[in-house]
Amino acid sequence: MEPLGGGGWTGHAGAPAPGWTYLLPLLLCAALRSLLASPSSEVNLLDSRTVMGDLGWIAYPKNGWEEIGEVDENYAPIHTYQVCKVMEQNQNNWLLTSWISNEGASRIFIELKFTLRDCNSLPGGLGTCKETFNMYYFESDDEDGRNIKENQYIKIDTIAADESFTELDLGDRVMKLNTEVRDVGPLTKKGFYLAFQDVGACIALVSVRVYYKKCPSVIRNLARFPDTITGADSSQLLEVSGICVDHSVTDEAPKMHCSAEGEWLVPIGKCLCKAGYEEKNNTCQVCRPGFFKASPHSPSCSKCPPHSYTLDEASTSCLCEEHYFRKESDPPTMACTTPSPVSSVKKGKITKNSISLSWQEPDRPNGIILEYEIKYFEKDQEMSYTIIKSKETTITADSLKPGSAYVFQIRARTAAGYGGFSRRFEFETSPVLAASSDQSQIPIIVVSVTVGVILLAVVIGFLLSGRRCGYSKAKQDPEEEKMHFHNGHIKLPGVRTYIDPHTYEDPNQAVHEFAKEIEASCITIERVIGAGEFGEVCSGRLKLQGKRELPVAIKTLKVGYTEKQRRDFLGEASIMGQFDHPNIIHLEGVVTKNKPVMIVTEYMENGSLDTFLKKNDGQFTVIQLVGMLRGIASGMKYLSDMGYVHRDLAARNILINSNLVCKVSDFGLSRVLEDDPEAAYTTRGGKIPIRWTALEAIAFRKFTSASDVWSYGIVMWEVMSYGERPYWEMTNQDVIKAVEEGYRLPSPMDCPAALYQLMLDCWQKDRNSRPKFDEIVSMLDKLIRNPSSLKTLVNASSRVSNLLVEHSPVGSSTYRSVGEWLEAIKMGRYTEIFMENGYSSMDAVAQVTIEDLRRLGVTLVGHQKKIMNSLQEMKVQLVNGMMPL
Ligand code: AMP
């Protein structure tokens, strides 16, 4: 082979082939331009159509390939090369491009547009005519590598015409424009030459385009991915990291993959517009004044919530307007509000000259309360008022007139300013005992002297007695105790109210105000009877000097307690110690000076009522049960008169002694109800024993004596059903839903209608419609006095007919036989009798009535109940099984 000649090829070398013109009409050129527009993922390294001047290509031999100087519709030159030596033997015509830089691409593509004449259409020459040509390349770092030998070129492919391409009708001839694309790679040098070899065909090479492919710069998921040249390998995916756009932050590192075809694939991760910016059209736009975005994860800028504003762009939160506030813990989406007013104010100690008050921090104080402002004035004297400021939730208003009504209002101040004043609370100072104020000192002095003498005598007696068992505070006469233990102020009957131990700055002061200190040596612990929240509960004996020995229950505070646990533990004593009623558990005293710290109460032989009733199922007369209920109601009346709301009234918190006297207990200070296993957290965060609690207390913590009445109704139900669990195994959520929808527990078995009616009254939705405890006591008294009124029972059939849907939560089908069912409820002894009397299937058993049971010889009331209750449970779909009101 000859080397390719040096010297540039220009102009027309050789003559056009006879009978056929290669001049392409302008029409063809225009069509080509539109056809050849390259996609954005392709980057041209050479496009012969766009080169204005000399292409610098070389033809060898000179009479082989020749350039036809054409112009397009804009008169721009088109470089078209043609060769048509079809009549001559042994053709070897080379057309060599100039050096093409690969611009860093390691795989390049060559697109050829050409026409190739069909040899059949040529007159003669068929013997030498060819219909293909060859394409070669040669890599080189610079332009000096052109004068190499033909055999140093590497063949890319033999190119043949492909008829599937555009056909252009040129009058009487059909000329086919072919497009062929070939790729080459991996390339290792900076550039290359291409060469086209003709071996005797009739070709017009209309255009040569050389390009590489890239994945074009793109923004996806708020990350910018740069132009990326595809890999050398046709199946290679290049992993590319994205860069977060302005004002955005990485959520998860953004990545995409660039395919060999120049397509972005498989996006991973993303960026998010940072706080104060929101996404719009793949960019992060600033939040306008009046809008904010608190976190990158918020989707867009939001308008400032009510009573807040921002004057700045890119705000991440809004400022509260003057006098409005938001807690630090509140989310920035929360509206700013003013502090909420103080709502619950309780009177504490009242003397003839002073009134002590306590109140609870507002539910939503909207920030740290800096202080309270208490405004008060004598009733009807509003013009002349006094203001006291306090950081505590208690105050004592002094220098008041005896026997006069005063009006109090309280408001809280936070950093946002003052909240609204509470409603007016009216309290009255104690009247003076003596007829005239001048003489009023005399009886007090007399009383004081008398008390002083008594106290002295007691102290001397105590010292002389060698300090044996006894209270460390000598308190003999209850009246005297009251006088002395309320700072010397005479406390009149009727004004006694419960004082929340929380109102004492020092809880130890409260416990010693209301509970007697007992010498530990006076107590003998005998055995453990239960487990309390703070430690074991034991039974034992208390022997105080000069008194007979008493059986007592001793609650202990476990070792390793915290100061708060000690305070809460003794808090119960501070509460209990204020009560004195036969149906309230009686506090004997406390041991605080020795360890373990103890609370000593009267001993209740039968323990808690729910367990006791379950143990003695069906064993009591209705009158006995009503007697228990009467006791509980009486204790509750006393508590409500004292202004004490129990909040956890339930049979488990009633203790019963050997005389079946029931007493209310469980006065935990950490109410609500950390220690009650029945208490569940509500959506509002508090812990509430749902099944025992009135709707309004569950919904918005409206705990009142009226909500205690609701709980009392549940206790009635527990008692009359011998410790059955209210609402059985329904979930708390279902209980709330059913009760809200108006359903109520059905009557317990054999329950006097009057008692069930009373229960329903206690469960009135409107709390004001519920009976008061004194009315309940009177009603029960009436029933006890007139036992025949208890004879009318809730009709068993009406009970059942009130059940809306009959379906079994346990499912009669879950018992395969009558025997299995009776065994499961521990009534297996009756299996034979049931079978003998035709109750051999669960379907038959479902029809059993209490009369049937009696006829079968099931005479024990407890057993009758057990069987009927089990049948009831199987029949009743629990939610719908309750009574709709
Ligand atoms: P408490 O911590 O009050 O719930 O008491 C736990 C358990 O100890 C109760 O359920 C009773 O079984 C028992 N208990 C508490 N106080 C007494 C008492 N005064 N007399 C008898 N048993 C009591």
Q: Which domains does the chain have, with CATH numbers?
A: 42-213 (2.60.120.260), 218-273 (2.60.40.1770), 345-429 (2.60.40.10), 501-602 (3.30.200.20), 608-790 (1.10.510.10), 818-881 (1.10.150.50)
State how far the Cα of 137 lies from the Cα of 94, in Å rounded to an integer. 12
Give the Cβ contact number of residue 845 at 10 Å.
Answer: 21
- Which of 161-165, 371-375, 561-565 has the least mean pLDDT? 161-165
Per the omega criterion (within 30 degrees of 0), is the bond before 597 cis?
A: no
pLDDT of residue 415: 63
In this structure, are residues 85 and 78 in contact, taking their beta carbons and an 8 Å threshold?
no
Whether the pLDDT of residue 325 is over 90: the answer is: no
Whether the pLDDT of residue 31 is over 50: the answer is: no
Structure tokens at 581: 């009623």
Q: Whose CA is nearest to atom 13 of ligand 1?
A: 530
pLDDT of residue 518: 95
Q: Tell me the torsion sign for CA atoms 723, 726, 727, 732.
A: negative
pLDDT of residue 625: 96
The pTM assigned to this predicted structure is 0.45
Whether the pLDDT of residue 566 is over 80: the answer is: yes
- Quickly state the pLDDT bin for 438 (edges 50, 70, 90): very low
Whether the pLDDT of residue 193 is over 90: the answer is: yes
Q: Tell me the torsion sign for CA atoms 17, 19, 20, 23.
A: positive
In this structure, are residues 359 and 410 in contact, taking their beta carbons and an 8 Å threshold?
yes
pLDDT of residue 476: 27
**Gap from CA of 591 to ligand 1 centroid (Å):** 18
Does the Cβ of 553 fall within 6 Å of ligand 1?
yes
Cα 436 to its chain centre, rounded Å, is 65
Does the Cβ of 532 fall within 6 Å of ligand 1?
yes
Cα 58 to its chain centre, rounded Å, is 78
- Quickly state the pLDDT bin for 801 (edges 50, 70, 90): very low
As annotated, the binding site for ATP includes: 529-537, 555
Name the percent of the chain lying above pLDDT 70.
78
Q: State the catalytic residues.
A: 648
Q: Whose CA is nearest to atom 17 of ligand 1?
A: 553
Q: Which residue has the tokens 């910018």?
A: 224
Tell me the per-residue pLDDT of 124-144, one tens digit each, with 9 for 90 and over: 656 788 889 999 999 999 887
pLDDT of residue 197: 96
Give alpha helix (H) positions in 193-315.
Answer: none
**Gap from CA of 685 to ligand 1 centroid (Å):** 28
Does the Cβ of 666 fall within 6 Å of ligand 1?
yes
| Average of per-residue pLDDT across 104-119 | 90
Does the Cβ of 537 fall within 6 Å of ligand 1?
yes
- Which of 129-143, 719-733, 768-782, 861-875 has the least mean pLDDT? 861-875
Does the Cβ of 673 fall within 6 Å of ligand 1?
no
CA angle, residues 679, 685, 691, in degrees to nearest 5: 30
Does the Cβ of 535 fall within 6 Å of ligand 1?
no
Does the Cβ of 366 fall within 6 Å of ligand 1?
no
| Average of per-residue pLDDT across 350-356 | 91
Whether the pLDDT of residue 885 is over 90: the answer is: no
pLDDT of residue 584: 97
| Average of per-residue pLDDT across 470-494 | 30
Q: Whose CA is nearest to atom 22 of ligand 1?
A: 607
In this structure, are residues 806 and 875 in contact, taking their beta carbons and an 8 Å threshold?
yes
pLDDT of residue 777: 96
| Average of per-residue pLDDT across 671-691 | 63
- Most confident option among 119-123, 378-382, 476-480: 378-382
**Gap from CA of 616 to ligand 1 centroid (Å):** 18
Whether the pLDDT of residue 40 is over 80: the answer is: no
Strand partners, 270: 252
- Which of 69-73, 542-546, 659-663 has the least mean pLDDT? 69-73
Name the percent of the chain lying above pLDDT 90.
40
Whether the pLDDT of residue 812 is over 70: the answer is: no
Structure tokens at 93: 């015509």
More confident residue, 288 or 174: 288
Tell me the per-residue pLDDT of 414-431, one tens digit each, with 9 for 90 and over: 766 677 788 889 999 998
Tell me the per-residue pLDDT of 746-786, one tens digit each, with 9 for 90 and over: 989 889 999 999 999 999 999 999 999 999 999 999 999 99
Whether the pLDDT of residue 449 is over 90: the answer is: no
pLDDT of residue 473: 32
| Average of per-residue pLDDT across 95-120 | 90
pLDDT of residue 490: 31
CA angle, residues 417, 418, 421, in degrees to nearest 5: 170
| Average of per-residue pLDDT across 547-557 | 93
Structure tokens at 786: 């007139």
**Gap from CA of 607 to ligand 1 centroid (Å):** 6
Structure tokens at 538: 């034991």
551, with CB counted inside 10 A (0-12, 13-18, 19+), is middle
Q: Whose CA is nearest to atom 8 of ligand 1?
A: 530
**Gap from CA of 335 to ligand 1 centroid (Å):** 47
Bridging pattern class, strands 66-71 and 154-160: unpaired
- Quickly state the pLDDT bin for 520 (edges 50, 70, 90): very high
Structure tokens at 281: 């059209």
Whether the pLDDT of residue 267 is over 90: the answer is: no
**Gap from CA of 592 to ligand 1 centroid (Å):** 20
- Which of 38-47, 537-546, 698-707 has the least mean pLDDT? 38-47
pLDDT of residue 366: 64
- Quickly state the pLDDT bin for 875 (edges 50, 70, 90): low
- Which of 133-137, 321-325, 484-488, 606-610 has the least mean pLDDT? 484-488
- Quickly state the pLDDT bin for 668 (edges 50, 70, 90): confident
- Which of 221-235, 360-374, 538-552, 563-577 has the least mean pLDDT? 360-374
State how far the Cα of 575 lies from the Cα of 631, in Å rounded to an integer. 20
pLDDT of residue 510: 85
240, with CB counted inside 10 A (0-12, 13-18, 19+), is middle
pLDDT of residue 372: 86
Whether the pLDDT of residue 171 is over 50: the answer is: no
Whether the pLDDT of residue 338 is over 70: the answer is: yes
The SS3 of residue 624 is helix
Mutation to probe ligand 1, out of 526, 534, 536, 537 (largest number of atoms < 8 A from CB): 537
Nearest in space to 750 (alpha carbons), one of 798, 788, 793: 793
Give one DSSP letter per residue of 51-92, joined into a string: --S----EEESTTSSEEEEEE-TTS-EEEEEEEE-TTSSS--
Mutation to probe ligand 1, out of 533, 655, 659 (largest number of atoms < 8 A from CB): 655
Instruction: Phi first, then psi: give them for residue 811, nearest 5 degrees.
Output: 85, 115
Element of type H or E holding 828: none
Whether the pLDDT of residue 461 is over 50: the answer is: no
More confident residue, 366 or 660: 660
| Average of per-residue pLDDT across 182-201 | 92
Across the chain, mean pLDDT equals: 79
